[in-house]
Amino acid sequence: MTKPMEVRNPRTGKFDYVIIPPPPRLLAQQCNRARRSQPRWLQLGVEGRITALQQWKQAIISKREQLTEALVNDTGRLSISVLEIDSFLASIDRWCGLAPELLQESAKNTSIPFIALQQTAVPYSLVGVISPWNFPLLLSMIDTIPALIAGCAVIVKPSEIAPRFVAPLLTALNTVPELREVLVFLEGGGETGAALIECLDLVCFTGSVSTGREVAQEAARLFIPAYLELGGKDPAIVLESANLELATSAILWGAVVNTGQSCLSIERIYVAESIFEDFYHKLVAKAHRLQLAYPTVEDGAIGPIIAERQAGIINDHILDAVEKGAVIHCGGKVEELGGGWWCRPTVLTQVNHSMKVMTEETFGPIMPVMPFPTVEEAIYLANDSIYGLSAAVFAGSEAEALTVARQLNAGAISINDAGLTAMMHEGEKNAFKFSGMGGSRMGASGLKRFLRKQAFLIKTNSNHDPWWFE
Ligand code: NAD
């Protein structure tokens, strides 16, 4: 037997939930069963798979209350949990709408008149999805839904820090027999994740750079593709011509939404020297108005820090910055309230790149603001990072912002806004540097990367081919 794992509630600090990781033999059996069921799932055709996913969606809607409650217990926040559920349900509809066209086979003429080409694509049989705790539902499903529609069987291993949301999904899944055979959820931590990879044909991993590196090494050993969506330290650049009202509102949202526990949080802000004071005064005034969602979950916009270890990292980054000369204008500490860990939106100035808060992923509602003398310096500072997930540029004109944006080493750059990849899904993007690897999870390739292209090259006449031996 494997050891049960206790799960902490982020609002109360109490360990009030238990998960039981599967013993290695059971894990292997579950994977084998899903793999054996995959051909039947594929034979259903895209329309059959859409019907099954829509049935699951309806069953989830009927369990919405339980799902919301579970997610609130997982994460301690309400409005973002509602948003997660809505986005997840919308993603089922979106992929169901797109899939029939994306999965169409095509027939083509070729450069050789007597050879025709039929182009098709074959899904990977067994895909694994290993996900983090910050958006537990959304990030366990973001790759799962397109993989299922493509015809793969999927094993999901959600984070051990926020696993309660799985139970209502499973209850709903039990009403859809075809889907239940090819969609499996595993409970467990890193060991379970590592054991899962052994059984897969493709792994989708969302999480930290350090774990991502281990996953990539294991995938390389097994010779399977690894799609890695990892950490970030997203910069925002605010040029002299920017609308400060707009920039401060967008950056505040981009930095603080979900208490900053988002891979694409704005974590460093570079502002033109001439507008620096105005900018941070406005930002501080707006940050002050945000309240903690405490004592009740309905209270304010800022939920608790979900993972206890993250509270330590946020605290360490603030202390390190202050020790090296940073000034705190609001927030500035990790507080314990009712057993949970909390941090109010924090604005720091007098920061530089010797500080962890400017170079390492903080994953908290921290906004370090640094002035820049020239646009070249701003671009240099924004690119001075091991990360390259996304970024934001604010300027008086789209053209001016785009000129700067084109020089940034990041996969998605919001112009005069922040964190737009969280809100729309069409923009294909690859992570730069240590922020990830593999095909874009956004746009059409979010589905196509679960397929291997296959070509049928068909001779259409019975003549002697010119290149054959006489
Ligand atoms: P983590 O790397 O600690 O864990 C992620 C998942 O990996 C968990 O399910 C965990 O159990 C599992 N795991 C741990 N060790 C493993 C191993 N050796 N083999 C296989 N699986 C293993 O990350 P976390 O703390 O849960 O999440 C926070 C991180 O995720 C942050 O760095 C954040 O930036 C990143 N993230 C990235 C994106 C993105 O799209 N780029 C989105 C959200 C979060």
**Which CATH number is 25's domain given?**
3.40.605.10
Q: Are 125 and 46 part of one and the same domain?
A: yes
Q: How far is the CA of 228 from the centre of ligand 1 (A)?
A: 10
pLDDT tens, residue by residue, 63-121:
999 999 999 999 999 999 999 999 999 999 999 999 999 999 888 889 999 999 999 99
Residue of 165, 141, 181 whose CA lies nearest to 49:
181
Q: Are 205 and 325 part of one and the same domain?
A: no
**Residue 312 is which amino acid?**
G
Ligand 1 — pocket residues by CB below 6 A? 130-134, 139, 157, 159-160, 189-190, 193-194, 206-208, 211, 214-215, 229-232, 263, 361, 389, 436
Residue 469 forms part of a structural domain: no
Q: How many residues does the chain have?
A: 470
pLDDT tens, residue by residue, 179-195:
999 999 999 999 999 99
Q: Are 67 and 34 part of one and the same domain?
A: yes
**Atom from ligand 1 closest to the CA of residue 309:** 25
Buried b (16+ CB within 10 A) or exposed e, 320-333: ebbeeebebbbbbe
Q: How much is the average pLDDT of 381-400? A: 98
Q: Are 115 and 148 part of one and the same domain?
A: yes
DSSP state of 21: P
Q: How much is the average pLDDT of 385-398? A: 98
Q: What share of the chain is helix, strand, coil (3-state, %, to 5)?
A: 40, 25, 35
DSSP state of 223: T
Three-state SS string over 53-87 comes to HHHHHHHHHHCHHHHHHHHHHHHCCCHHHHHHHHH
| Residue of 84, 229, 267, 360 with catalytic role | 229
Full-model pTM: 0.97
Give the confidence band of 144 by pLDDT, cuts at 50, 70, 90: very high
**Atom from ligand 1 closest to the CA of residue 214:** 18
**Residue 130 is which amino acid?**
I
Q: Specify the number of domains making up the chain.
A: 2
Residue 464 forms part of a structural domain: no
pLDDT tens, residue by residue, 305-346:
999 999 999 999 999 999 999 999 999 999 999 999 999 999
Residue 1 has a pLDDT of 63
Give the pair of three-digit tokens for residue 248.
Answer: 């401060």
Q: Are 279 and 412 part of one and the same domain?
A: yes
Q: Are 238 and 332 part of one and the same domain?
A: yes
Q: Are 190 and 241 part of one and the same domain?
A: no
Q: Are 89 and 139 part of one and the same domain?
A: yes
Tell me which residue range forms the domain holding 374.
234-422
Q: Are 15 and 164 part of one and the same domain?
A: yes
Q: Are 61 and 9 part of one and the same domain?
A: yes
**267, 233 Cβ separation under 8 angstroms:** yes
Q: Are 217 and 286 part of one and the same domain?
A: no
273 catalytically annotated: no
pLDDT tens, residue by residue, 16-55:
999 999 999 999 999 999 999 999 999 999 999 999 999 9
Tell me if residue 167 falls in helix, strand or coil.
Answer: helix
Give the pair of three-digit tokens for residue 140.
Answer: 């366990």
**Which CATH number is 255's domain given?**
3.40.309.10
Residue 180 forms part of a structural domain: yes
Give the confidence band of 129 by pLDDT, cuts at 50, 70, 90: very high
Residue 97 has a pLDDT of 98
Burial of 459 (0-12, 13-18, 19+ CB in 10 A): exposed
Q: How far apart are CA 434 and CA 3, in angstroms?
A: 33
**142, 216 Cβ separation under 8 angstroms:** no
